[in-house]
Every structure is written in structure tokens, then in C-alpha cells.
Amino acid sequence: MLERWKETELDWHERVDSLAPRDRALVRQLVSGTLRWQGKIDYYLNFFLRTDSPELPLRVMNILRMAVFQLKFCDRIPDYAVVNESVKLAKTASRSRYSGLVNGVLRNLIRNWDEVSLPRADDNPGYYLAVEYSHPEWLVTRYIRRFGLDFTRSLLEANNTQAPLVLRFDGALAGRTGEIIEFRQKLEGEGLRVEVGKYLPEALVIAGNPPRPSYLPGFEEGLFYIQDEAAMLVAHLAAPNPGDLIFDLCAAPGGKTTHLARLAGKSSFIVASDLSRERIGKLRNNICRLGLANTALVAGDALWPALKEADLAICDVPCTGTGVLRRKPELRWRVNEEDLARLAELQKKILEACADTVAPGGTLIYSTCSLEPEENWGIVSYFLSRRDDFYLEPADRYLEKELVSQQGCLETFPNVHGIDGAFAARLKRKAE
């Protein structure tokens, strides 16, 4: 998993969920923790790897990274066990060629960890925070310029926490109090600690280390969907009406599609589109599990929409995902600064294409799971400057004010709101 996380179609989270229960928690901790702290781990390893040594194979480097994570970021695994298992792994991976190096580096690191000096914060705050909190320096520098040192530090700290499992319990949308109480009792009967979300009644936060979602009571019956509260807020901003024709252009795996279907009711109809047939398959499975009949699926390109005259259209566009780094730690190493300009061009095109599907008087939702202004307000303001048939409808008419930006859009941060980072704008097409 540590070798292949760069493959965008490989979801290591799903691979972890497929493991036996006795292995799942440890493997998730090793993979997510090593990826999360890879920047700081590599900084320390560079001090204990000889500068004249040849570049190590990726598998050997990952053995060292995983060992350092266990030695310095975990407190339940004895040092000798970490070293012995890492040497065994190195022998298997390299036919003993690198086992001596792994043994020597780790033993030296254990003895002399405190001798390594971190970068001086006064000399280069961006580099210091990047190493201390294991984030790319380019991203940290951007945040310092935009938010200042204190906010940046708290954001990086939040990104390094383990995101909780959050369920969207659709029974809460209808206000069926008895069902909510009964469902919570079932979860708590499994030894789980359940808390209601901060902003929405249908959000149930599972604390601790929950089992695989499909093992939870109510999964097969379609009682809930796995979705962070930040993503749920987008559907509430959309505020669909009964009988609406709704078009979701980037729908898979189906969080917003299924939420909109629940909110709008059975008299509505949703056309859900996605470019990937494989992802459409996952969307179909979710729709069937939740028992939703008022949907149709289309495998299609969001740049060439398959519908016109929608009452509500939503485009949850591809983005850098910097709002979900606590949930997907590998993203911090996958994206780079050049991706912002490339994705912004695609986002502009998708938003423009989506706008043409909206009927006069209809609503258009633009959303991302990014914190970057180039992908968020920058796209919306560009769109509004070109389309005088649309205007921004303030989000505080639909959401709590603390969730709304100065421009009037949904904007959340993990260190401020305790949920994923998200952005969404509600755009209204003029009736005339």
C-alpha cells in the first residue's frame, strides 16, 4: 500500500477495510500514519543515511519509514520488535542486501534521535512548520501568507489528527425521533460511542476505532451512508424542493446524489452522471443499498452534459482535496502547486457546462473539498464576471453564519469547525 498510494485509482482505504478485523486497525494505523508523517520521517532519516550511499529502493525506504513511525509516533510497540521485524522485511525485500543497513540505521536513530536539530522557526517559518507538521513546504508557505502563523499551525495540527467515521442517518431527515434513538442504541450496543454532529441532526460521529462500515448494524438495510458533515452541508445549501428535476454532473460515489434524493423526496427525479463507468458502478451499488428509486445513472463527461432544463444542478468538481488531508493524508504528497492552475481551468469549464443545464429560475451549486481560493471563490467570481444571467445567493439563508465566508459561500476548515474543509456556492439563474 505504501508503494502504490500514488495510483489515483487505487483506494488503499478500501483495501484496509477488506482485511480481517484483527489486522485492520494496525494496518490502517501503519499506512495512514506513515503517509501522514512521511515528511518529518524523511527529514530525520536523512541524518542517519550516509550521504554517499546509493538511492535506496522504494520498498526498503518504506520499511525504514514504517519503522520510524512505529518507533517515534507510536507508543505500544517495543523498539526491539520494530527493529527485528524491519530487518526481516529488508531480507525478504532485498535478499539481505539492505538488511544490515536497515539494522544499523534504526539502531543509530534510536540512540541519537534527540541529536537531530529541526529547522529554526525564526530563520524560515514555512520550512520549520513543513518539517514539524509533515506538510509540503509550498502549501505551508501559501497558508502562512494567507492566514498567518497561528492559524496555519492549528490547521496543520488538525490535518494530522485521525478523522472520525461519520454516518449520515437518513431517518433523521424526516424527524423520526424513535428511529434515531433505536439506531443509536444499536450502535452503542456494539460498544461504539456515538455523538450527534455539530451542525446537522442526520450526522452521527463514531468515536474511537470503529469496525468496517459494512459490519455496522443497519448497513445492509440502507439506514445510513458514510459521509462527513462538511459534505452533507452542500446538500442543505442546495435545498432541493419536492418534484425537482436534479442533475449531478460529478456524482460518484454518490454522497451528494443520495442526500439530495432524500431531501427532495420521492416526487423528485435525479440524473446522476460521472465519467468513470467503474465509479458509476459504485454509485449504483449505493443507490440500490439505500433503496432509492427516483434516480437515473449516466456515464458521461461533465464537459458535455446529458440534460437541459434542470431545476437544480450540482457540480462537485475534481480538486486538490486540501480540505480532506486529515482523512486522506496521501493527498498532501500527491498534489503540487502546478495542479492548482491545471485544475482551475477544468473547474471553470465544468461550471460553465453545468450552468447551461439549469432552467431559468433554477439553482446551480458549485462545490469542492479544497481550501484553495483559486479553486473556490476564484472560480465563482470568474464565472459571475462572464455570466450576467446568474447571481450569488447568500449561503447564510440556508446555513449557520459561522459556516459562511465573507463572500457568502459555504466555507469550512477542520481546525475551526471540527469537520472536513469544504467550499460551495449557491448560484441562481435569473428567471427572465
Residues tagged active-site: 369
Pairing of strands 390-392, 358-368: unpaired
Taking the C-alpha atoms of residue 93 and residue 27, their distance in angstroms, rounded to an integer, is: 19
345 burial type by CB count under 10 A (0-12 exposed, 13-18 middle, 19+ buried): exposed
Cβ contacts of 166 within 8 Å, gap of 6 or more = 197, 203, 204, 205, 206, 226, 227, 228, 229
Answer for the pair 144, 125: CB distance below 8 angstroms, yes or no: yes
In which residue are the cell numbers 519509514 written? 65
Burial of residue 306 (CB within 10 Å: 0-12, 13-18, 19+) is middle
C-alpha span between 104 and 86 (Å, rounded) = 11
- What backbone phi and psi angles, to 5 degrees, belong to 165? -80, 130
CA-closest candidate to residue 160, choices 281, 24, 38, 64: 38
- DSSP lists the bridge partners of residue 203 as 168
Cα torsion through 261, 263, 269, 270, rounded to 10: -50
Residue 234 CB neighbours (<10 A): 25
Residue from 263, 267, 266 nearest 235 by CA: 263
d(CA 229, CA 105): 43
Three-state DSSP state, 202:
coil
First to last CA, the chain: 54
The DSSP letter of residue 195 is: E
Whether residue 204 contacts residue 166, with contact meaning beta carbons closer than 8 Å, is answered with: yes
- Interior/surface letters 66-92, b for 16+ CB within 10 angstroms, e for the rest: bbbbbbbbeeeeeeeebbeebbebbee
